[in-house]
Structure 1
Amino acid sequence: MGIWELLLIAVGLSMDAAAVSMSNGMCFHRAGVKEAGRIAGAFGIFQGIMPLIGYYACSFFEREITSLDHWVALILLGFIGGKMIWESHAGHEVSHECVTLSGKLLFMQAIATSIDALAVGVSFVALPYEGGILAAASVICAITFAVSFGAVFLGRRFGGILRNKAELVGGLILVGIGVKIFIEHMLTG
């Protein structure tokens, strides 16, 4: 996997965190740079750690997975992306009741939005990034941080208009990458 595929995966993965960051921005409309940094930092760190966990947990089974790598990527990325697309149209309503953004709530949000990154880490065993897993995790972390940081301020500014669209775009990107990997493998043998 090259840098462009990794960047697209990172952007796709960051969309869940972006959607939650926008929601946080809508609820905590007085959030400034410090609060946006705290939110983005939590999401970025967890999005960077989870692929490492998935990768190293699955590395023990690398030989068995290599023969099925294109199927693994198609199924995992297709499922994750499909879930994001479905969730973007599932009729989520933005709550107008906001709670305090405690450390515990932010931790739970960061875990929930990074589960997909765990599955992507598994797919990196089958189709590794040419720069290595640590570099891939760092890129995912940095992109998620940047996207989440900006999303807090977008949430403050534009409210509920953008929330579901971020999940839709992220899902389409992940499904597209899964299909691309599958087609490339089938065409090249």
Structure 2
Amino acid sequence: MSRLRPMSPRRSYDQYCSAARALDVVGDRWTLLIVRELLAGPRRYTDLHADLPGVSTDVLASRLKDMERDGLTTRRRLPPPGAAYVYELTTRGRELLPVLQALGTWGRPELGERRPTDAVRAHWFALPLLRVLEGEGLVEVRLEEGEFHLYVGTEDGPVYGDGPAPTEPDARLALDTDTCTAVARGELSVPDAVRAGRITVTGDGTLAKTLREG
């Protein structure tokens, strides 16, 4: 990891407008995508860099420093044997979830076909799925690219995580990437995908039963 650079003065649009003030804080390139990654909970710098393909180490270090200054993130050291620093969202930072959800909804028409240069991570589908799943519970999702889990209906803490669910989930969903992309684009609803056999739902929790009966 590169050494964190000193914080530069915050640039401002110098407009007395809440939208302009918000963009003063989160309008820089990569900032909201770092928030997307940290919605999974505490992450090490190396993990963030691995899941943000295209960001340079200097830019990532600078953005993290700025986000800490602006009260969006904190940095703490894990106890032994980890002894690594992790970054996590503050309450203020977690309040950006609906902003990212709204951007995701607005950006659905921009997805189009996946380009050869497009990177993809399984957990990037977490927020689109979270937007359309109703109820409460832990959901494990299996795609061709990998597994992730969602905390549906939670108010605090992580909203998703990479890999299998840490405890027995309320529901397990298995689907291919084309189906997940169609759901993310708004072209296919989860109940319709379940009825068509494009999403397989297993589990004994209330959420699983609701999905199967939906």
| TM-score when normalising by structure 2 | 0.23
| TM-score when normalising by structure 1 | 0.25
| Structure possessing the higher relative contact order (Cα contacts under 8 Å, 6 or more residues apart) | 1
